[in-house]
Amino acid sequence: MSRAGWRNHWKQADGIISTLQCDAAGEGAAFKMINQLLAGVHIAAASEAIAFAAKQGLDIRKVYEVITASAGNSWMFENRMPHVLEGDYSPRSAVEIFVKDLGIIQDMARTAKFPVPVAAAALQMFLMTAASGMGRDDDASVARMYARVTGTQLPGEPK
């Protein structure tokens, strides 16, 4: 691994880097999939919440402001829901990535005989979004799928 920066910062980074080192073959991939499980579930939940808020007639910009300062916030809500607020679904991370990754998680869980029902539900939301023609769009498009299915208006969507 290469690193650059002030030498006195290297010592601080060493603790973090050693924490991230994986010992067993495949352990790094497993760590990534645990992250992707959480990321996919958070995007699906955030998309559901913002679309539901719109359906309730709430000002979704105000919802975003309140939630990002509340216990219900997540990094994914804070990072992805501005795409919905702006009606900008140009891909930064595509729906298909989570179809793939949540599918891998399902395979891993089946092999381990470990139930992952929340991740399975998130996978279905991403699959439905991809099947709706939004597979290459931003992963926040899950909110558009919810909106289209429920007749809810989101910014940037045709009336």
Phi, psi (rounded to 5 degrees) for 94: -80, 155
Cα-Cα-Cα-Cα dihedral sign, residues 40, 43, 45, 51: negative
Task: Check 32, 62, 100, 159 and give the catalytic one.
Answer: 32
Cα-Cα-Cα-Cα dihedral sign, residues 79, 107, 146, 134: positive
Q: How far apart are CA 128 and CA 119, in angstroms?
A: 14
Place of tokens 């395979």: 107
- DSSP-derived 3-state class of residue 38: helix
- 32 an active-site residue? yes
Residues designated as active site = 32
